[in-house]
Amino acid sequence: MIKRYVARTDGHAFVLFTSYDAMNRAADELAPWLTTKNLGLYVQGQGLPRTQMLEQFKANPRAALLGTDSFWQGVDVPGDALQNVIITRLPFSVPDQPLLEARLEAIRARGGNPFRDYQLPEAILKLRQGFGRLIRTQRDHGMVVILDPRIKSKPYGRLFLESLPECRHNIETVRNVPTGQALFD
């Protein structure tokens, strides 16, 4: 699916991941295909500092830039260089860090629901931040693709969709791929 949407915009794409492992596996899979299309590949954590990687992407937007956490926010690529943001998974934090575990346990101890009261609102905010990478000025345009089928298959998916700016959206299904891929432009 990443190949499909990167091809639609001839690169000019950020692909946002929630884990380094998934990002690196995708990079390994995408690299040969991108080479055949004469498209560049920038992967967070594989040599270039983030600032330098962004500058190279801006200079050569016929590329896909793959990033994790720090690319979901605070990255500014206005204009035509960035026309496509692909979000591979809804950005739920994994409760494997002691601080987050303690926070979730405190919510539970107060009678709250850690998922509803903390993890879901946090993930919605992060999705909005990732979505916001595309539109930085009034002249910016493009598409945001959410590949995670939970956006349509889970009841909480509606909350993610309702949190996004008003835009046209399409749902695309491809044979042998889970349903619910959302395309926003």
The pLDDT of residue 54 is above 90: yes
SS3 state at 127: helix
How many CA within 13 A on the CB side of residue 24? 6
- For 67-78, what is each residue's pLDDT tens digit? 998 899 888 888
For residue 185, what are its two tokens? 């432009």
Looking at the chain, the number of H-run helices and the number of E-run strands are 8, 7
Highest-confidence segment of 12-21, 139-148, 165-174? 12-21
Beta bridge mates, 169? 184
Share of the chain above pLDDT 90, in %: 71
Which residue has better confidence, 4 or 136? Answer: 4
8-15: average pLDDT: 96
pLDDT of 170: 83
Q: What is the pLDDT of residue 185?
A: 46
pLDDT, tens digit, 9 for 90 and up, residues 97-148 = 888 899 999 999 999 999 999 999 999 999 999 998 887 777 778 999 999 9
Distance, in Å, from the CA atom of 18 to the CA atom of 175, rounded to the nearest integer, reads 25
Q: Is it the case that residue 23 has pLDDT exceeding 70?
A: yes
Residue 152 has pLDDT above 80, yes or no: yes
Burial zone of 85 (CB within 10 Å; 0-12 exposed, 13-18 middle, 19+ buried):
buried
